[in-house]
Structure formats: C-alpha cells, structure tokens
A and B are shown apart, each in its own frame.
Chain A
Amino acid sequence: MKTRLNRIAHARSGDKGDRADIGLFAYDAQTYDVLKREVTAERVAAHFRGVATGKVERYELDNIWALKFVLNAALQGGGSRSLRIDNLGKTMGAALLRMEIEAPDSLPRLGAEKRR
C-alpha cells in the first residue's frame, strides 16, 4: 500500500551552513528495513527538487533504526543569508515526512491504524 512517511516514522531537521540535515526514525525494526529500501538518497533528492540543489547523502544507523540525510546546497547559501521564512530548514523534516512510499500493510503502525 502507499503511505506517507509520517504514519510510520518521525523526523527532526537542522542546519549547518548551507546544509540541511534530517534524521528519519522508524518506530520498529520492520519499518526500518522498509525505510532503508524505499527512502534512498536519490528519492530524497527528487523529493526536495527545487529546494535543495546539491547532492543528498544518506547514513544508516541500525542501532537506533534511523536514517540520516544531509542535503547540500539546501538553504540559499545558509541561514544568515537566506531569504526564506524558514531560513534554518527547521520544517524540512516535516517535508520529508510527507513523502509517499510503498510499504507492506503488515507494518505495525499501519496495522494499528486500520484496527482503530
């Protein structure tokens, strides 16, 4: 089934210079495997097209079921020169959570929502 990431994961974003960084966290191991498969650096780069113009890097942290994305050239040169209202990319984590991916409906959070 198709699902937005915010149903199965949570996130926080921050900045360093012209880089935005987003931590994406699965609530369980099964979902983490799906995130690793579906939320690739390429897909994230495509999702943020028009916002981040540089390369997207991805780091995997199996020990805490988390993926770290670093978006280069993402903040119009950096927070103190950006013209955006969100000059620090604080909401980019939410923008990532809006991404839609293909996920098995057997994932714990998806199953739980159906039962409700």
Chain B
Amino acid sequence: MNAQRTVRIGSGLGFYGDSWQPVRASIERGGVQYIGSDHLAELTLAILQKDRSRDASLGYARDVLPMLAELYPLGRERGVKFLLNAGGLNPRGAGAALAESFRKQNLHAKIAVITGDSVLERVDEIVAAGESLAHLDTGASIAAVRERLVFASAYLGARPMVEALRQGADIVLTGRVADAALFLAPLVHEFCWSWDDYDKLAQGLTVGHLLECSGQATGGNFGGDWQKVTDIAHMGYPIAEVGADATAVITKAPGTGGLVSFDTVRQQLLYEVHDPRNYFSPDVVLDMSTLKLTDLGGDRVEVKGATGKPRPATLKVVGGYHDGYMGEASLAYSWPDALKKARATADIICTQLQERKVAHDELHVEYIGHNALFGAVAEDDDAEDLNEVFLRMAIRSRDKKVAEGFRRMFPWLALSGPPFVTGGGIQGATELIGIWPTLVTRELVESRVTIDMIEV
C-alpha cells in the first residue's frame, strides 16, 4: 500500500427521511470513493416494524430505492461504493427490492446483504443459553416485556462489511450496525488495518462518528453562532480524507454551503456520546480525550490522536416493546390572556377526564409558544402578554380506545370554551414503543451473521 494514499469517504443520509441531494456534490465534486449512509436512528426500527406488520416484504428504509436510483449511476462512473444500513429489520427484503429496481433501470451492481443482527426470533434461545438480556440501565428482567417485544436487534461491527467489500461488493446493505462502522469498514478494507491496531480503529471510528449524522458536522443544527453558517440551501455533507496513518481531515465538497470549523466538528464529536473516554463500539472502545482537532481554515479540520482499547465481549442490543397508545389534541388561543385561557381549557379537560373516569397512565400538557420545548426549565417572564399560545395535550393509555377517543373531548370547546380560539389539531391513537437496551455475548450473534451477494 502507498503510505501517502488518501481515502475519501462521504456522508450519506443521517436518518430515514434525510435528503440525499447534498450527496450529489460529494460524488460530483468531492472526489469520494465511498458513501456511508445511516438510515437508522434508535427508534427508526419502531417505524419499520409498523411497515413490516402490514406487509412482510417491507421493514426496510424505503428511501434507499430512489436514493440509489439517482446516486448509484452518478457514482458508478467514478467507482463510488455505498454502505447503507437501510436494510432495517429486513435486509433481504431491501436487497430484493433494490435488485428489482436496478433491473428495471438496467443498472448493474454487486449488492451484498448482511443479516444476523436481528435477535427477536431468538430471544428464548439466547435466554436459554444463559444470557439475562436484563435492561441495561434498570436491571429489570426481560420477562417484563418478552411478550410485547416487536423488534430486538444487535449492533454489528465493521467486520462483515469489510468482508463484503473484499468480495467485491459495490453496495453493502445491512440491518442494525454501529452507525460509525459504516465508515470504519471501508478504511479497514482500504488500508488493511489489523483488528488489534486499536488506535487506528479508534481514529476510523471517530471519522465514522463525525460523518454518521450528515449535515450535523458541517454546520447543520449548530447550537452556537448559527448565523455564521452560510448558504444552507446548498448544504454540503461532510467528507473525510483519511491517510494510512489514520489522520483525517473533515471537509466538504467545494462550492457547497455550510461550515466546517473546530466548533461545528467538536459539536458532532460529542453528539449522543455517553462517556467520551469509553465510547463503546463492536470493534473498538474509543477514548476521545486524546484527540487533537485543528482548524486548518477553508472548511478543513484535522482530526488525529484517538486512542483505542480492545472491543467489548458483548454486543449492544436494542429492543422495542409495545407500550400503549398516545392520543393528542391542540387548540390555539390568541391574546389577551392567551396562556391563562389555554390553562383554563387544560383544567376543563382534566375535570372531565376525572369525572368520566377515563383510564389513562399519563397526561401531558404543554403550551406551545410558552413551555412546550423547555418544560419546567421555561421562564415565566413574558407569560402574561404572549400574542398566542397553542395548548397541546397528550394522553397515554394501554387502551387504544381511550387514546383514540381523547381527540373527541376537544371540538366542543370552540363554541363553549374560553374565547378567541381557533385552529389546532387532533390525532387519533399512535402506538408507543418502549426501548429495551441490553447486552448479549457477541459469539451468540456473530456466529449467525451471513453475507449474501446479489449480482444484478
């Protein structure tokens, strides 16, 4: 391998529903060789599960089809490869649908499909093998939710993806994998890093973590001097230039909007991280406290110095279980006394819920325009003279009928409640999903991982 060689990886989607338009610039002008695309937030599997329960061929992130129909031909001539966790709960279904879509467009590709992350069907077997699958935070027994589980997937690491790339895949489709592993895999593949070269793996994981949330590393959702982030209409997604020694530069395609600076990069570095000295992944444990970030100017930030420790003996599993239903409604009140009127209406609803003995587990009241985002942290300084306030109420119940019927408690207030009221909205029952994080001995999962290659 040429020691001077640089591998360029670009960010794809940061969630199911994200825009892939900025990826075009990374391919056309950013010189990327790989795109890693993260379609799965923690609760996305809850959404995909609803799809799958309607139609067994679904359960994957469907945006992968139009996304690759547009981007794959663009990248094909440049040799760009794609790694995507869009398989969700059904990587094989995603692979079949993608192959079908490519055939129709007369596109040719080697598509690798990685399965084995889902353990839902194996919970009893895994418990019988001596694993507790207890809740990671509370220690509660899995028995409490066993019958209500709707998905349970382990976070796989980079190894199967590296193997898929070695076998010549142009597109790697996975289910649940550690988000950052989508980016670590091509680096391990290209540079032939050893699986016990922990510092290099830690650097690769850092790069992946910085790229897994699309525009959040290039000035999107930047909770600082956000007005310094220019031309968001033409947002550039992050690109990492990585050397064989694992030193990386985070940048974006020339001519795109956004901002890559010390501030925008370090915001993303700590995003959704618990202990920065022990950032767990299936491949390595990263210590961020040794990192050195240097702003080189011109939308370039150098990242080096990550240190790594051996991977854990367990994989993280996140399960979701049915946890009742939510019903919600909102009403809009104008000045004068907007907040007072909204509060009076909430009291009226509470009285009726009590008198009618409506069985519910929780009632949530928030005042949009006053405290819906900050809750108890909101300050009251201007509460007396607000132009307008939306009352939003949400109810949680195990009984779907209660959640469904909640919205019917509101319309009469338009004529019989406090004055200057309009608009708002009502929503029938929405299924709620509780999250069950746990650990499993990795061999129990990894021994079942498979790679299928589809040639189209």
Which residues of A are interface residues toward B (Cβ below 8 A)? 10-19, 21, 23, 25, 27, 47-51, 57, 59, 61-64, 66, 68, 70, 72, 76-81, 83-86, 90-91, 93-95, 97-98
A83 to B318, CA, bound (A): 21
Q: Is B199 an interface residue (CB 8 A)?
A: no
CA distance A86 to B320 in the complex (A): 20
Identify the stretch in B122-130, B236-244, B269-277 within 8 Å (CB) of chain A at 4 or more residues: B269-277
Q: Footprint of A on B, CB under 8 Å?
A: 42-43, 46, 137, 216, 221-225, 263, 266-277, 288-293, 318, 320, 323-324, 326, 328, 362, 364, 366, 368, 372-377, 379, 392, 394-396, 432-435, 437
Pair count A-B, CB < 8 A = 150
Q: Report the Cα distance A18→B290, complex, angstroms.
A: 29
Contacts A15-B42, A91-B373 known; A78 to B435 CB distance under 8 Å?
yes
**Are A83 and B362 touching (Cβ within 8 A)?**
yes
Summarize A's interface: helix, strand, loop or mixed. Answer: mixed
A79 contacts across to B, CB distance below 8 A: 42-43, 435
B residues near A68, Cβ cutoff 8 Å: 270, 273, 275-276
Contacts of B396 in A (CB 8 A): 81, 83
- A residues less than 8 Å from B376 (CB atoms): 48-51
Given contacts A12-B221, A25-B263, A66-B270, 17 further A-B contacts (CB under 8 A): A12-B271, A15-B272, A16-B42, A17-B318, A23-B270, A61-B288, A63-B291, A63-B292, A70-B274, A76-B362, A76-B364, A77-B434, A78-B435, A80-B434, A81-B434, A83-B326, A83-B364
Known: A48-B377, A59-B275. A86 touches B372 (CB 8 A): yes
Q: Are A11 and B223 in contact (CB under 8 A)?
A: yes
Residue on A nearest B265 in the bound complex, by CB: A64
Q: List 7 A-B contacts (CB under 8 A).
A: A10-B267, A25-B266, A64-B269, A64-B293, A70-B274, A84-B366, A85-B366
